[in-house]
Amino acid sequence: GQNIDQPTEMTATEGAIVQINCTYQTSGFNGLFWYQQHAGEAPTFLSYNVLDGLEEKGRFSSFLSRSKGYSYLLLKELQMKDSASYLCAALDSNYQLIWGAGTKLIIKP
């Protein structure tokens, strides 16, 4: 079956760095997405990786290893507004998006 695994919850300190991991098992693979979702709001797109390696976008970076079925989202210089859930989703061979349950990130002052 198809599956996405990511931690349920993580806690980090304002100004620090946090890495949110995601492992996936899909029928075929056409890319890996990360979304941010604040409580009570809709998800918003953060990043897309289809090739191995690190993609950097400001304070956020996303990494992909296709051979390991593994990705991570790296958040630097954490701010209180980064408190949210982070959703990992993989695109399978039929271009169906398989969603993880999300990682709730709590930022403490």
Partner 1 sequence: EADIYQTPRYLVIGTGKKITLECSQTMGHDKMYWYQQDPGMELHLIHYSYGVNSTEKGDLSSESTVSRIRTEHFPLTLESARPSHTSQYLCASSESAGETDTQYFGPGTRLTVL
The two beta strands, 70-75 and 18-25, are antiparallel
In angstroms, give the least distance from the CB of 78 to partner 1: 21
**Token couple for 78:** 């954490």
Beta bridge partners of 71: 22, 64
Query: In this complex, which beta carbon is closest to partner 1, that of residue 16 or of residue 54?
Result: 54
Whole-angstrom Cα distance, residue 56 to residue 68? 20
Interface residue list for partner 1 (CB under 8 A): 30-31, 33, 39-45, 48, 50, 85, 87, 91, 95, 97, 99-102, 104
Query: In this complex, which beta carbon is closest to partner 1, that of residue 33 or of residue 72?
Result: 33
In angstroms, give the least distance from the CB of 96 to partner 1: 8
Grouping H, G, I as helix, E, B as strand and the rest as coil, residue 16 is: coil
